[in-house]
Amino acid sequence: MVFSQLILAALFAAACSALALPWALGRRRRAPGIAALLLIFGVALLCSMGWQESRAVDPFYALGEHEVQHRPVQRARDGFVGSQACAACHPDQHGSWKSSFHSSMAQLATEETVLGDFGDVELEDLGRRVRFFRKGEEFWMAVDEPTPQGGRRKLERKVVMTTGSHHHQAYWFEPKEGRSLGTVPFIWSIERQRWIPYEAGFLMPQDEKGVDLNTGAWNKHCMKCHATHGALRFDPPEPMQTTVVELGISCESCHGPAGEHVAKFSDPLARFAARVSGSTDTGLVDATKLDHRRSSDVCGQCHSVNLFMEPAHGELWNHDGFPYRPGMIWPRRSTSLATSRATNTPRCARISLARRARIRTGGSRTSGPMARCS
């Protein structure tokens, strides 16, 4: 029991004593007023205890993520607790964030989040035939595609996640095992209200024809910026066991892990003391109050092209997640290169170390690691 709850318990006991005393002295006229006071303190004590417990619920269990088998799971860790923990005290800010594109950058595929047409639509590109359809409330994809051996391969998979809600929306299907998402080969153009090939919406090497369905592209590339504090957790030959704190770019992506903040200010007396004293020490980061470099890096952790300088640093990210926290100077274990705002330059380019390719960006030809827009 936290300190404030002990105080409330003491006040509750004092109220009981105050109620008993008039009865003992025969002054019963005061009893109703004291009884009301007793009731108020009792309710306050119970609410404080119940509210405190509700703030500590791990989304891993609250959202049923412990039952998920074939996609990345959401779980609080490393001091990150998820945006729902912010809503109780900051409803206006939480509502503003919830209505932003940041919150919907990665979502579970549901009736509310899927924008594309899954009404039994058939498409074909580069010899690959794809059909989008529904099974009740679920979204599905059936593919019939050529194989390198000259035959054809068929598969049918459930679509479980989306990425994007502004210009394009990409889709990802569940694997047979592990949590490595497969790539749906068409994306939905929100502006045009039509399906387009994946490579027509994302920057690809010029010699790459068609997208590989089973690359785990979301886990390797998109997760870093489209989810909060993700860890790839890929140790071949075992399948990926990717975890994130939360799908989407949440409060903690820009303000830092909020676990200590929530634990401290769940205490009503701590909030009251901070307000009375005028303390600004919240334990969280406000980018508007940082120096120019640290402030830029808060946005630059995603709105940039970044590259691990040594393989060991990539392994650190693989198992523990990206080490950067808002307010830090960009870690020397990686480098960040600002991207142009020119019309033809990808909005959020990601670096893949898997291969080198010649790519065209903004009308000029460059040579370097393959870039992917996420």
pLDDT for res 270: 85
Q: In the predicted model, is pLDDT for residue 189 greater than 60?
A: yes
Q: Which residues of 192-206 are buried (b: 16+ CB within 10 A; e: fewer)?
A: eeebebbbebbbbbe
- pLDDT, one tens digit per residue, over 326-336 is 998 876 555 55
**pLDDT at position 360:** 29
Q: Return all residues near 317 (Cβ < 8 A) that are at least 6 apart.
A: 231, 232, 308, 323
Higher per-residue pLDDT: 289 or 203: 289
Of 34 and 170, the structure prediction assigns the larger pLDDT to 170
Tokens representing residue 163 in the block:
């990425």
Q: How does DSSP assign 84-149, residue by residue?
A: HHHHTT-HHHHHHHHTSTGGGSEEE--TTT--S--SSEEEEETTEEEEEEEETTEEEEEEEEE-TT
Flag the least confident range among 146-150, 249-253, 306-310. Answer: 306-310
Mean pLDDT confidence for 332-354: 41
What pLDDT band is residue 67 in, cutting at 50, 70 and 90? confident
* Predicted confidence band of residue 343 (pLDDT cuts 50, 70, 90): very low
For residues 256 and 311, the model is more confident at 256
- The domain locations on the chain are 3-55, 59-257
At residue 223, the pLDDT reads 93
The tokens describing 174, both together, are 């569940």
Identify which of 196, 220, 213 has the alpha carbon closest to the alpha carbon of residue 124. Answer: 196
